[in-house]
Structure 1
């Protein structure tokens, strides 16, 4: 398992305690939803499943089965929607954790409806973003490590992979 389940309870406690956090993420989710198509939607990497507070009806998922998500799945082998396609696949702060991002895109393309959308938001790896995340976040931003063939090995996070420069490169 490459997912630290011990982070979920503290994340939920922070979520419940911080109105500012809920407002910030609510704004992000509403922006994402404004670009979505009508129809069934899947979120990949749902964590504590807060998307449902802002976008009702979304199927939540993560790499591990937890009480916070509807299903456990691999981002590299996305399921259909009960045999049918998804209209939208959401990811918020997930791409930079994928060791095989192109395998995810291939999988998502295979289960999306014609004209379906992948809607993602990722950390900004701009100079200001790099400084902010270096000071306040534990995941690295290493643009030089993002290069072809875009298959990444696990890093120092106990089998996990994270490079917040992914969307920047």
Structure 2
């Protein structure tokens, strides 16, 4: 068995550990010491693995919490955006209704103005006709009264 170990160390393979041959009487103690060393190495590896796993779990937990918060913020932003859109649509509809009412009011005022203008034109025409009729009556009165009474001509001129 000693020859096999010495051959492995002499082979020059870097992956093979070479142990110095222990003295013959301490072989049991050396083996026990190696077992303790191996156990220490395994405990260190287990401790390191537990710490790495704990860090990984902590990182995952933190990442999940940040993801949840980001999703909540995104949902809140979407809700606010939807509310803003609904509010803007409502205001736009109100503005459209107000504009339609204003246009209707303007059309009604235009119609009223047109009616007033027509009445004014009719009144002006009637006034012209009344003036013309009055002038005709006045002339008829002058002609008839003045021919019948020549003295009345001076009085009518003085009255006019």
State TM-score, norm by structure 1.
Answer: 0.14
Q: Going by fraction, where is strand more abundant, 1 or 2?
A: 1
Q: Going by fraction, where is helix more abundant, 1 or 2?
A: 2
State TM-score, norm by structure 2.
Answer: 0.14
Q: Higher relative contact order by CA 8 Å / sep ≥ 6: 1 or 2?
A: 1
Larger radius of gyration: 2
